[in-house]
Chain A
Amino acid sequence: NAGVTQTPKFQVLKTGQSMTLQCAQDMNHNSMYWYRQDPGMGLRLIYYSASEGTTDKGEVPNGYNVSRLNKREFSLRLESAAPSQTSVYFCASSEAPANSPLHFGNGTRLTVT
């Protein structure tokens, strides 16, 4: 049982380049999330999808877009990467948007030079 799978694990981009982070879960969860984690800080919500077909902004959505492709998959796109987007990105899922623990992927370490 894989849980939440993120790809890639590592990525280096130049300023202005674009990329998509992929996330898939096999737990039949309804809700999915993208967080970023910067050194010494907790997790900040970028975007989330309470259920298939819906997406909503979190705390730090600027510079990102998301797509809930189907119930299993939720991708995060950086259209024009900036050094401020250097971070570790975590995808997570939960059974429901409330009162349900988050299950996290292993993260993507992104460096923008």
Chain B
Amino acid sequence: EDKVVQSPLSLVVHEGDTVTLNCSYEVTNFRSLLWYKQEKKAPTFLFMLTSSGIEKKSGRLSSILDKKELFSILNITATQTGDSAVYLCAVEANTNAGKSTFGDGTTLTVKP
């Protein structure tokens, strides 16, 4: 059974801090790992990491994938209150197209 574990479960920082969110996984025949941000309602897509794309960056957010050690990290630099959200990690396997497995999420709170 595929498994995704995110840490920490929650995190409180102040504006301007840098945070690192962790996602470790166990999946047979790994295909891709995706990060989503969930504010009040629907999760929104951030990054997809695959064997051919193990590092992604967009503004203050960046993510890397370590396929050998089976984990990914999401970094947010110079945090802002608008970064407060639940960050979800999901993995896909080649053998289960369409069946993404999600972690329980990390709740990030950024205080002014």
Contacts and interface: CB of A to CB of B under 8 A. Distances in A.
Interface of A: 4, 31, 33, 40-45, 48, 50, 56, 58-59, 90, 97-99, 101-107
Contacts of B97: 50, 97-98
Interface stretch (B14-22, B54-62, B101-109): B101-109
Interface string B15-39: 0000000000000000110101000
CB-CB nearest 7 A-B residue pairs: A42-B102, A97-B98, A104-B42, A101-B45, A97-B97, A98-B97, A106-B41
Contacts of A98: 31-32, 92, 94, 97-98
A61 to B, nearest CB: 11
A58 to B, nearest CB: 6
Contacts of A40: 9, 104
B65 interface: no
A41 B88 CA distance: 10
A23 to B, nearest CB: 12
Contacts of A59: 99, 101
A102 B45 contact: yes
Interface in B67-112: 88, 90, 92, 94, 97-105
A40 B97 CA distance: 26
5 contacts: A4-B42, A43-B102, A98-B94, A99-B31, A102-B34
B43 interface: yes
A45 B90 CA distance: 12
A101 B43 CA distance: 11
Contacts of B7: none
A15 B97 CA distance: 34
Given A58-B99, A98-B92, A103 B45 contact: yes
